[in-house]
Structure 1
Amino acid sequence: MSLIAAKIALTPTLMWAVSAASRRWGSLVGGLLSGLPLTSAPISIYLALEQGESFAAEAAIGSVEGLGAVTLCYLAYALCAPRMGPVASLCAALSAFVLSGIVLHGLVRPGLWLATAIDVPAMALVVALCPRAADPDAPRRRPRPPRWDMPARLAAATALVLMVSGLAPTLGSGLSGLLAPIPIISWPLIAFARFQDGVRASLDVVRGSAQGAFGVLAFYVCIHLLLGRTDTITAYAVSIALSAACVLPWLFVGRRVRAG
């Protein structure tokens, strides 16, 4: 099965699961799950299998740079959402992604470790700017979502996946890596949360996505260091495990905060 065919089947399933988790446990958990490398990891695996391990390892550097652009996109939304309407704040966030991507990848090219040093404090700042609701698990009275809600989410996420999958193989390792961490699942989740549940819910998604980005960063750094030094299966297994290990503690931290 080709990557595009796999993503047509996989992306709606992941989007449905994350959306269902968001409805069941709140927007913060949905954002945290959407921040995992649910789509970027398959792209990296595809690059390793089709273009070679060295190509995928170099693409990981571009992905770390791209993750900085994604984080600055979240930062722009966190700053604009409380002060602007939904369309304006979403456009500002996407503009921040494009501009920071051009600067970080096209002009500065900071490399793996400098990009990591930029990403970590930026992600921490996004988390700080999106404080948790007093009780995110408290039941909310919400109107039942319209019938078109879930199909629209699935279509939006799948369309973005197909766009990235179609462009990445032709752009080289740097630009392919830059496209890989685009938050294909979290962007639609943020938009739908904003339009349906307001600013607070969308900021919960952003916070969870920024927390999940620590795991994405760990995944790409590990991939760059391991590919070519160990077999492909081991490299990706260790990288995915490390990514999960960086994300899961956020759930326990949240529970301790609520318990206190």
Structure 2
Amino acid sequence: MSLIAAKIIVTPTLMWAVSSAARRWGSLVGGLLSGLPLTSAPISIYLAAEQSERFAADAAVGSVEGLGAVTASYLAYAFCAPRMGTVAAILLALGAFVLGGALLHGVIQPGLWLATAIDLPAMALAVALSRTAAEAPARRSRPPRWDMPARLAAATSLVLLVSGLAPHLGPGLSGVLAPVPIISWPLIAFARAQDGVGAALDVVRGSAQGAFGVLAFYVCVHLLLGRVDPVTAYAVSIAASAACVLPWLLARRRPRAA
């Protein structure tokens, strides 16, 4: 199977799985699953296969910086969503991503460990802010027929765009673009349109929780890729990511005290 074919098949399959999980178990679970490296891991694997393992390992540093920009967009959306309309909140959140990426990658250039130190408290703040901002409970509605095809098309288009630009951008900028929330943002937009602000903020909170797993994935990729064989490097990285997300899922399933 060619890489293009893999991108076209894998991305919509993951989007379908996460969207189905969100419909069955709620927007928070959908956001948590979408926060996993479901598209950023394939992008990293594509970069290693198409460019080189060293390219993908260097791109992982940019991805940790880009994850800070993604978290800035979550913070902006959690603050703006209860106060603004759908389009305005999303545009301001995307603006926060661009500004955060420009500062972290273009101006500060913190490197792997300082970027990690910036990301961790920012992600924790995004989880807390999206929880307190969700004033209204999420409502559940039956999605229209075009809903799932639109989600699949949006996610697939974004992953093809990001991976297609990589050879022209180099490892740094390619890494910054890799953690773009390809699945999360369509989920957020559709949740807001169909189920209200509360559902959208649940997706944001789940995505911010899942970002801890994405961070673990990229740190492991940078440390392992090129030092061990690629299959082992990505297997360990994905396992570390899952280990960071599992406690959030278990905490959600634990019954609340009366």
Whether TM-score is above 0.5 comes out as yes
Maintained 8 Å contact 2:64/2:218: yes
Q: Which residue of 2 aligns with 1:87?
A: 87
Whether 1:258 aligns to 2:256 is: yes
Structure 1 residue matching 2:42: 3-state secondary structure: helix
Q: 1:218 aligns with which of 216, 219, 224?
A: 216
RMSD value over aligned CA atoms?
A: 1.7
Match of 1:242 in 2: 240
User: Are the equivalent residues in 1 in contact too, given 2:46–2:163 (CA < 8 A)?
Assistant: no
| Residue in structure 1 matched with residue 45 of structure 2 by the alignment | 45
Q: Which amino acid aligns with 2:230?
A: T
Task: Give the structure 1 partner of residue 34 of structure 2.
Answer: 34
Indicate if the aligned counterparts of 2:221 and 2:237 stay in contact, CA closer than 8 A. Answer: yes
Q: Percent identity?
A: 80
Structure 1 alignment gaps of length 5 or more: none
* Distance in 2 separating the partners of 1:258 and 1:205: 21
Take 1:22 and 1:247, find their aligned partners in 2: how far apart are those partners? 16
Residues 142, 207 of structure 1: alpha-carbon distance in 2 compared, 3 angstrom cutoff: closer
What per-residue deviation string (whole Å, max 9, x for no partner) do you get for residues 26-73 of structure 1? 000000000000111111112222322221111100000000000000
The TM-score normalised by the length of structure 2 is 0.95
Matches within 5 A, 1:169-188: 169-188=167-186
TM-score, normalised on structure 1?
A: 0.94
Deviations 1:78-119 (A, max 9, x none): 010111111110110001001111111111111000100010
- In 2, Cα distance between the equivalents of 1:245 and 1:119? 18
Deviations 1:122-175 (A, max 9, x none): 0000111122879x8xxx874421111111111111111121121112211101
For residue 167 of structure 1, what is the aligned residue in structure 2?
165
Correspondence for 1:54: 54
Q: Secondary structure at the match of 1:87?
A: helix
- Cα deviations across residues 204-258 of structure 1 (Å, max 9, x unaligned)? 0000000000000000001111112211111111010000000011011123363
Residue of structure 1 equivalent to 2:200: 202
Distance 2:146 2:101 in 1: 33
Q: Which runs of 5+ in 2 are unaligned?
A: none
Q: How many angstroms apart in 1 are the aligned matches of 2:171 and 2:178?
A: 10
Q: Is the 8 A contact 1:77 1:93 kept in 2?
A: yes
Structure 2 vs 1, CA of residues 259 and 24 (structure 1 numbering), >3 Å: closer, same or farther?
farther
The residue aligned with 2:105 is: 105
Q: How does 1:109-128 map to 2 (within 5 A)?
A: 109-128=109-128
CA contact (8 A) 2:139 2:196 kept: no
- C-alpha distance in structure 1 between counterparts of 2:139 and 2:173, whole Å: 44
Aligned AA for 1:83?
A: R
**Alpha-carbon distance in 2 for matches of 1:10, 1:212:** 19
Q: Secondary structure of 1:82's match? A: coil
1:108 aligned partner, one-letter code: I
Alignment of 1:142-161 (within 5 A): 142-161=140-159
The one-letter code sitting in structure 1 at the alignment partner of 2:186 is: P
Q: Is the 8 A contact 2:43 2:159 kept in 1?
A: no
Secondary structure of 1:171 counterpart: helix
